[in-house]
Structure 1
């Protein structure tokens, strides 16, 4: 009595199913990790002032609108808090009309680097993000210059957390050194694997 022979198709079917399962699991894992990868790639590109790569990971029109809304809100809160001072009121009103240059300054690779390194705008109309540290690092510096640069460097945020807020929104929260002050950078999904920095919340 001869044993039944296995057909070639029957032998390869379990292998195909296994491969499909592996591909699906890998795709789901990559989809889950994609905002973390986008955050890492964006931060490295922004720190290096790699404009082309930064443009791939930032929705600048949406970020500009968000910055404008947040800074106007910040100035309005100051206006409400200082309503007993006519000088402060006038200053805040002038500030609201001058936020365009501040928004434009932070909707740049320099501004994105500042936002991702714990240095958000504070709402002063003349405020600008710090210059690229990478450019200064390329030139040799004396020990005194190094000490000065170190003393001028802004403090790093106390704590940074990142995670999904919803299926299509990923939030990075930066806790600053002043008490419980914190702000967040908001990434939004575009397609299955693509994420872009699209908003900032300065009053979380």
Structure 2
């Protein structure tokens, strides 16, 4: 009786090769998508002020150092521009700002600061600046409501258009995201065509792990 073992091996070899190829393709796809998933998870956690999850996706020592360098450069540029324009008061303000970089950096190297960075609200280098209070930008304090008016014949909206509720809400920033090298993933924010851009930079740690590690305030 002929031995069927070689035949069985030959039959299973294509299946094993196919499975290996599928696993490799799936791993490569997951590796490519991993920074997008990390960014999504980080933004959700930051918006919810979930400090524990934010800590998993942010390298706070690296982010703090990057913020310090970027805000210092921002203020020094402002100081040089003020000197060039002959405005001593602006130069003094920039010098004061340099002295207050530490508290500003400490305020933005927090879940509140990360949420601000990922929602188009970077630090501007102003003295005493802090990240916006959660919900303040989306829900500004309402003005005193006007006294109700009696309906006017022929007016079907009962004066609703005059209640001050037709103000255009602030638009979210335009964002673009993509790789800038094998181990660097950059998200760029811009509110309008003429506005300055800035970026949040995620660095790879291992094969699938990404962390927010730097910003560029003058993209």
* Correspondence for 1:168: 183
User: Alpha carbons of 1:131 and 1:152: their partners in 2 closer, same or farther (altered >3 Å)?
Assistant: farther
CA distance in 2, matches of 1:61, 1:176: 28
User: How far is 1:155 from its partner?
Assistant: 4.0
Which of residues 203, 206, 209 is equivalent to 1:188? 203
- List runs of 5+ in structure 2 lacking aligned partners: 146-162
Contact 1:174 1:182 in 2 (8 A): yes
1:117 aligned residue: 119
Partner of 1:38: 38
CA spacing shift, 1:169–1:202, aligned 2, 3 Å? same
Q: How many residues align?
A: 195
3-state DSSP class of the match of 1:174? strand
Instruction: Give 2:79's aligned residue.
Output: 79
TM (norm. structure 1) is 0.86
Q: Distance in 1 between matches of 2:168 and 2:195?
A: 23
**Alpha-carbon spacing, 1:111–1:151, altered in 2? closer, same or farther (3 Å):** farther
- Per the TM alignment, residue 9 of structure 1 is displaced from its structure 2 partner at its CA by 2.2
Q: Which residue of 1 is the match for residue 216 of structure 2?
A: 201
| 1:75-117, Cα deviation, whole Å (9 max, x unpaired) | 1111011111222222211110111111111100000001001
Q: 1:153 to 1:107 in 2, by over 3 A?
A: farther
SS at match of 1:133: coil
Aligned residue in 1 for 2:131: 129
Task: Tell me which protein shows more helix as a share of its residues.
Answer: 1
Shift of 1:153: 7.0
- 2:50 paired residue number: 50
Which structure has the greater CA radius of gyration?
2
CA, structure 1 residues 115+152, in 2 after alignment: closer, same or farther (shift >3 Å)? Answer: farther
* Alpha-carbon contact 1:119-1:154 (below 8 Å) kept: no
Match of 2:97 in 1: 95
Instruction: Give the superposition deviation at 1:177.
Output: 2.9
SS where residue 45 of structure 2 aligns?
helix
2:149 is matched with: none
Question: Normalising by the residue count of structure 2, what TM-score does the alignment of the two structures yield?
Answer: 0.80
Distance 1:154 1:76, change over 3 A: farther
CA distance in 1, matches of 2:193, 2:101: 24
